[in-house]
């Protein structure tokens, strides 16, 4: 049985050729439940607005499914880290906690964009991440300009989570060729799927 899946897009959103759109279609074809919220003004994201919208989507998913997972890309991954850092023990116990989270190509601490404010550096709160989900994993490209490998390794170490590094994966987006991406579908089915192969 497939889990409930929440897909969080990054800055500028995820277009029809993006792996998140592909994954949503694959899951729907398999009879899965997938939520792909269009967060407000993705070209000029506001962290507080996105946090409120994320909280709403998490609350909607409460109690409806045996397993709930999140796959967040880029600024969406940073959003999740901010959410986790603000999640109190009481909130986590009240069912905002998810089972698994895959943070794909998170933004590095020095990433900047003139239209994106407040997302970086994202808080690296290991206790918060554990409150937010039972299992969290990072996956990055070894040549991602938004987050270097050294930063990704430090991020994973401070969060105390697994890290997969994909050779030549860049930002793991449409530009890098990540439309259909069978590994993410495999991960939705089994958290032990290693994210080390491209496309």
pLDDT value of residue 151: 97
- In angstroms, the first-to-last Cα distance of the chain is 24
Residue 23: exposure state from Cβ atoms within 10 A (0-12, 13-18, ≥19):
buried
**DSSP percent split of the chain into helix, strand, coil, nearest 5:** 35, 20, 45
Q: Are 79 and 8 in contact (CB under 8 A)?
A: yes
Summarised one tens digit per residue, pLDDT across range 82-97 is 999 998 765 655 567 8
Q: Which superfamily does 4-189 belong to? A: Alpha/Beta hydrolase fold, catalytic domain (3.40.50.1820)
133 by DSSP, 3-state: which? strand
Residue 103 pLDDT: 98
What's the pTM value of the predicted model, to 2 decimals?
A: 0.95
> With 80 as the cut, is the pLDDT of residue 187 above it?
yes
Summarize pLDDT for 103-118 with one digit per residue, the tens: 999 999 999 999 999 9
The domain ranges of the chain are 4-189
């Amino acid at each position: 049985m497939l889990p409930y899946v929440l897909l969080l897009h990054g800055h500028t959103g995820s277009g029809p050729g993006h792996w998140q759109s592909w994954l949503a279609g694959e899951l729907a074809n398999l009879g899965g439940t997938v939520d792909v919220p269009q967060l407000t003004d993705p070209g000029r994201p506001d962290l507080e607005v996105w946090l409120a919208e994320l909280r709403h989507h998490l609350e909607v998913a409460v109690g409806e499914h045996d397993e709930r997972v999140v796959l967040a890309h880029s600024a969406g991954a940073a959003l999740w880290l901010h959410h986790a850092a603000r999640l109190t023990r009481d909130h986590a116990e009240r069912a905002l906690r998810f089972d698994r989270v895959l943070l794909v190509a998170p933004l590095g601490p020095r990433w900047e964009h003139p239209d994106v404010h407040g997302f970086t550096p994202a808080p690296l709160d290991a206790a918060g991440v554990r409150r937010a989900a039972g299992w969290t994993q990072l996956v990055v490209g070894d040549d991602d300009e938004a987050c270097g490998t050294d930063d990704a390794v430090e991020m994973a170490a401070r969060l105390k989570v697994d890290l997969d590094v994909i050779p030549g994966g860049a930002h793991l987006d449409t530009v890098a060729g990540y439309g259909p991406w069978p590994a993410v579908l495999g991960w939705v089915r089994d958290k032990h799927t290693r994210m080390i192969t491209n496309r």
